[in-house]
């Protein structure tokens, strides 16, 4: 029987279990003290004034867009090389996603492509209102260049850092660029709350708005039956917050563990022909790996590699499928192949391989050995 090596695996210890059990025994499962404690720890860790915990990264981004409230049909720039949420939140506001291409080395949104989009749309660029940047796979975007573009064009800027908690751009933490940033805590992330997300910001008004809208539009006094705006139930529960309180204390250790696993992979994969690893830019003064993705050389059958790896028990997945080529986006906007050549090329050749805090060196050797065989078989 082949080994079974999962694509991801959260690290949950005795401390997390003990603290969650305390909450269960307390009977306070929602709107309790641990939400505030978790938010305080997250704000302190990120270095911002406010952190607002919610039930997902999608909810966090949605709240920020509700706060900005761009005009209907406004164009908003983002990347198609991301999870679909990065573009869906634009549609929620009845706005139009405009996709910039990506850097072929880091897979993050390309500042040059952003500039080209703006320059090619000069006659209509008053409709371009903002930009949502995504720190893909745990590496920061080139935020200085992106900020400069946004300031010159008077665009709002939102940071989707759901994959990059703990990462730093020129020694400044991700999540702190633009109006606000977001993190997500799904079990494959660097730290987890099961499901959950958080907004981090220095904007006092956004903080007040977010706390209201996540709680059915109640006012800051939280009079249970008084609703001052249209809101949602986006609250994080006490169990998730408690899990997060313990995990945030371990986050730096988790990031270090993941970096060690990534370093091992890089060394092992240097011996495999036909495979390239992610470039880490000099401005990334701290990398916080979310997943570990390899890039296959052109001409290698990526689907065949995925099949061969799966057959030998190696968890794997294509990462990401371009948003603009998703069936819903094709139908709604008429997007076609060829619109984003770099995104489409990279997306057709990337493979996520097993990656988590405690992946053993022996398991990594097994993974890389089978990558080598799969690449040779599908070249």
Q: Which two tokens stand for residue 150?
A: 């946004």
Residue range 14-248 forms a domain whose CATH class is: alpha beta
Q: Are 120 and 352 in contact (CB under 8 A)?
A: no
As a 3-state breakdown, the chain gives helix, strand, coil percent values, each rounded to 5, of: 45, 15, 40
Nearest to 105 by CA among 74, 133, 142, 55: 142
Strands 181-184 and 156-160 come out as: parallel
When pLDDT is cut at 50, 70 and 90, the band that residue 142 belongs to is very high
pLDDT digits (tens, 9 = 90+) for 245-281: 999 999 999 999 999 999 999 999 999 999 999 999 9
Q: What is the pTM of this model?
A: 0.96
Q: Are 292 and 261 in contact (CB under 8 A)?
A: yes
Q: Containing H/E element for 274? A: none
Distance from C-alpha of 204 to C-alpha of 280, rounded to nearest angstrom: 34
How many other β-carbons are positioned within 10 Å of the β-carbon of residue 149?
18
pLDDT above 90 for 2: no
Query: What pLDDT score was predicted for residue 122?
Result: 65
Res 123: pLDDT? 59
Q: What is the pLDDT of residue 322?
A: 98
Is residue 35 predicted with pLDDT exceeding 60? Answer: yes
Which regions of the chain carry the CATH code 3.40.640.10?
14-248
| Distance between CA atoms of residues 203 and 158, nearest Å | 12
The tens digit of pLDDT for each residue in 163-192 reads 999 999 999 999 999 999 999 999 999 999
**Residue 85's pLDDT band (boundaries 50, 70, 90)?**
very high
> Chain-wide mean pLDDT for the chain?
96
Where do you find CATH 3.90.1150.10 in the chain? Answer: 252-377
Count the Cβ atoms, other than its own, within 10 Å of residue 94. Answer: 11
pLDDT tens, residue by residue, 208-247: 999 999 999 998 776 788 999 999 999 999 999 999 999 9
What is the topology classification, in CATH, of domain 252-377? 3.90.1150
Q: Residue 353: pLDDT above 70?
A: yes
**pLDDT value at residue 131:** 98
Burial of 124 (0-12, 13-18, 19+ CB in 10 A): exposed
CA dihedral (303, 141, 87, 356) in degrees, to 10, reads 50
Print burial letters for 252-263: b (CB count within 10 Å at least 16), e (below 16).
eebbebbeebbe
User: Tokens for 184?
Assistant: 């997500």
Say if residues 135 and 375 touch (Cβ distance below 8 Å). no
Cα separation, 256 vs 289, in Å, equals: 9
Distance CA(127)–CA(75), nearest Å, equals 5
Query: Rounded CA gap, 89 and 171, in Å?
Result: 29
Per-residue pLDDT at 77 exceeds 90: yes
Q: What is the dihedral of CA 62, 152, 287, 42, to 10 degrees?
A: -40
Phi, psi of 97 (to 5 degrees): -75, 135
Taking only the tens place, the pLDDT of each residue in 87-117 is 999 999 999 999 999 999 999 999 999 999 9
CB 131 within 8 A of CB 76: yes
């Amino acid at each position: 029987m082949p080994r079974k090596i999962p694509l991801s695996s959260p690290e949950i210890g005795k401390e997390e279990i003990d603290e969650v059990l305390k909450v269960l025994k307390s009977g306070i499962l929602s709107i309790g003290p641990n939400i505030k404690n978790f938010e305080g720890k997250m704000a302190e860790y990120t270095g911002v004034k406010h952190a607002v915990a919610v039930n997902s990264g999608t909810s966090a981004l949605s709240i920020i867009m509700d706060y900005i409230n761009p005009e209907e049909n406004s164009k908003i720039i983002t990347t198609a090389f991301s999870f679909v949420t990065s573009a869906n939140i634009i549609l929620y506001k009845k706005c139009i996603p405009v996709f910039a291409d990506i850097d072929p080395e880091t897979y993050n949104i390309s500042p040059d492509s952003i500039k080209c989009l703006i320059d090619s749309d000069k006659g209509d660029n008053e409709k371009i209102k903002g930009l949502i940047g995504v720190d893909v796979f745990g590496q920061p975007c080139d935020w200085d260049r992106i900020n400069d573009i946004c300031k010159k064009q008077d665009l709002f800027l939102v940071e989707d850092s759901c994959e990059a908690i703990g990462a730093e751009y020129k020694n400044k933490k991700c999540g702190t660029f633009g109006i606000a940033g977001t993190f997500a805590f799904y079990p494959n992330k660097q730290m987890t709350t099961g499901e959950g997300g958080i907004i981090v910001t220095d904007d006092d008004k956004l903080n007040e708005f977010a706390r209201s809208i996540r709680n059915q539009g109640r006012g800051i006094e939280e009079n249970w039956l008084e609703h001052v705006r249209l809101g949602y139930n986006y609250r994080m529960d006490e169990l998730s917050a408690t899990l997060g309180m313990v995990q945030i204390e371990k986050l730096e250790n988790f990031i270090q563990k993941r970096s060690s696993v990534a370093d091992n992979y890089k060394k092992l994969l240097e011996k495999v022909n036909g495979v390239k690893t992610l470039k880490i830019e000099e401005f990334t003064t701290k990398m916080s790996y979310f997943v570990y993705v390899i890039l296959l050389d052109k001409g290698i059958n990526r689907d065949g590699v995925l099949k061969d790896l799966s057959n030998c028990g190696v968890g794997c997945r294509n990462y990401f499928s371009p948003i603009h080529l998703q069936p819903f986006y094709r139908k709604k906007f008429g997007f076609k192949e060829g619109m984003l050549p770099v995104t489409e090329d990279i997306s057709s050749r990337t493979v996520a391989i097993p990656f988590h805090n405690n992946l053993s060196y022996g398991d990594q050797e097994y993974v890389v050995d089978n990558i080598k065989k799969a690449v040779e078989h599908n070249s």
